[in-house]
Structure 1
Amino acid sequence: MKHRALFVGLTTIDIQYFIDEIPVANTKIKTDIPDILVGGPATNAAVAFAYLNKTATLASPAGLNAFSSFIDQDLNRVGVDHFDLAYGQDFETILATVLTSKNGDRTIVTHNPKVVDSTISPQKLIDLVEPQVVLIDGFYPEFSLECVRICKERGIPVVADCGSWKPQFAELLNYIDVAICSADFMPPKCKNRKELFEFMTNMSIHSVAISNGGSEIDFLSKEKKGRIKVPEVEVMDTLGAGDFLHGAFCYYSLECADFESAMQKAASLASFTCSFKGTRKWLNFKHNA
């Protein structure tokens, strides 16, 4: 272990089917046995960080349900230490059904999580972990907001996974140092990337990146503005690639102070994960950034 990182947000159970193409309405198709794995934006980011760092810490609700042991075993297997925010409570697992076509595209059907009454306070969590960097994915906003406020006070850098605009980002972004946005992330009144960069600059966020699948990543940091080329691979599956980008960035941001270099290395790992089916097989192979 080199570094300490805390990932706060969503944990899901992903049921992933691999099919030739997305079916039309009112049809039934047969596939091989699906992958059933633990997922979610903050969770997958923690997995990527642990792959590079040997360990990572995740704070998310799992609670008591039919999947409790499965979640524990999966996270333990990939080196992720888990603070269960719903420990000892009955809690409905977030389920996601994923259809992945042969070109690597995926369609996801899921549902939003319920509010959680956390069994550990943000302050105690941060005191115990002593993170060098914290990532939030925007879920469980009350808990996340208190975490980022504490980080702001203590000078702990915070990375935001901005996958899609959520109302809570209006307040969360006041405490963010780095925002990694998908092409779909558009705050109200923003219509393009130029306006998004301006919005983030006005929020005093010092480094912003906008990813777009296999296309170049646009970025704006304190040092410069530019584009990062995403390495080309034979795409087998894109599920979790953005999450892995975020987790890898957290690691490389602690390895090197240069934002562009950290993002370039993270993009290399994210592309690498796309050359494998599922969100775990790539963990068995070595990647050289």
Structure 2
Amino acid sequence: MKHRALFVGLTTIDIQYFIDDIPIANTKIKTGNPDILVGGPATNAAVAFAYLNKTATLASPAGLNAFSSFIDQDLNSVGVDHFDLAYGQEFETILATVLTSKNGDRTIVTHNPTEVKSTISPQKLIDLVEPQIVLIDGFYPEFSLECVRICKERGIPVVADCGSWKPQFDELLDFVDIAICSADFMPPKSKNRKELFDFMTAKNVNSVAISNGDSEIEFLLKEKKGTVAVPKVEVKDTLGAGDFLHGAFCYYYVESTDFERAIQQAALLASFTCSFEGTRKWLNFDHNA
């Protein structure tokens, strides 16, 4: 049976160069042709969910610009149904330049999007998709906030991709059931992970995980604290790995409603993606092989 998941947030165009080492200031590097890929936190999460489920639904602005058809073709090719929140509107694509070194480290230069006037309401979107789970990445807060309010009323679990602190999280987290945080995510006045867990508990977010590259994933499930080991692989590229973790988690959580098990299984897939360059090559392989 196919599951229904909705991912709300950012779609970008990632221009990724593969180099030996991150350059120092005032240097020029010649390298091979870059990969030009569709990315973004919610988008990559939807790709991972679709890899496991054969389909996923993404709501993000793409609009009318030079990349419109490229985005459509890419998302169609990986099984992601796309509700374009800027459909029919001129919209400036979010670009990200990515430098990936031979050890898998990456440096990203990008910019934040502006708020979009959506061509579909959150109410209609959720009515059409009827999701079993929803993920937000914190971008487009007005639209996202209305989505999570509706989900709270309907008992639809909401997962927050907490990559970095954004002011809108202070309100969004009031409607979130599960938060998956990066090691860099830290609310104001929180100085360590204990204070982060306390902050989430005060927000009634009772299921929290903190990823940290290839280190153990720490989690708090209601009052239970624990860790999940991250499988070791030969790392070629870490771009998108955290996003793929989130998308895989959503799939496995819908499958079992077991938070700890879903984190474990998602960590397996996220690590697997790191053994390939770019964010699409791994899709051609079975991660269980």
Aligned to 1:226, what secondary structure does the other structure show? strand
Are residue 130 (structure 1) and residue 130 (structure 2) matched? yes
Q: Match of 1:243, as an amino acid?
A: D
What's 1:224 paired with?
Answer: 224
Q: Match of 2:103, as an amino acid?
A: N
1:18 CA drift (Å): 0.2
- RMSD of equivalent CA atoms: 0.9
What's 2:83 paired with?
Answer: 83
What's 1:236 paired with?
Answer: 236
Give unmatched runs, 5+ long, in structure 2: none
TM-score (norm 1): 0.99
Aligned to 1:216, what secondary structure does the other structure show? strand
C-alpha separation in 2, matches of 1:48 and 1:79: 10
Q: 1:195 to 1:223 in 2, by over 3 A?
A: closer
What's 2:109 paired with?
Answer: 109
C-alpha separation in 1, matches of 2:66 and 2:122: 27
What's 2:268 paired with?
Answer: 268
Aligned to 1:134, what secondary structure does the other structure show? strand
Same amino acid, percent of matched pairs: 86
Aligned to 1:211, what secondary structure does the other structure show? strand
1:150-181 per-residue CA deviation (whole Å, 9 max, x = no partner) reads: 00000000000000000000000000000000
Q: Select between 51-60 and 215-224 the one with higher mean Cα deviation.
A: 215-224
What's 2:23 paired with?
Answer: 23
C-alpha separation in 1, matches of 2:281 and 2:288: 16
Q: Match of 2:200, as an amino acid?
A: M
1:270 CA drift (Å): 0.2
TM-score (norm 2): 0.99
What's 1:247 paired with?
Answer: 247
1:223 CA drift (Å): 6.6
What's 1:69 paired with?
Answer: 69
1:70-92 per-residue CA deviation (whole Å, 9 max, x = no partner) reads: 00000000000000000000000
What's 2:96 paired with?
Answer: 96
1:229 CA drift (Å): 0.3
Q: How many residues align?
A: 289
Q: Match of 1:218, as an amino acid?
A: E
Q: What pairs with 1:139-178 in structure 2 (closer than 5 Å)?
A: 139-178=139-178
Q: Select between 204-213 and 221-230 the one with higher mean Cα deviation.
A: 221-230
C-alpha separation in 2, matches of 1:257 and 1:58: 22
Are residue 184 (structure 1) and residue 184 (structure 2) matched? yes
1:287 CA drift (Å): 1.1
Aligned to 1:255, what secondary structure does the other structure show? helix
C-alpha separation in 2, matches of 1:135 and 1:115: 18
Give unmatched runs, 5+ long, in structure 1: none
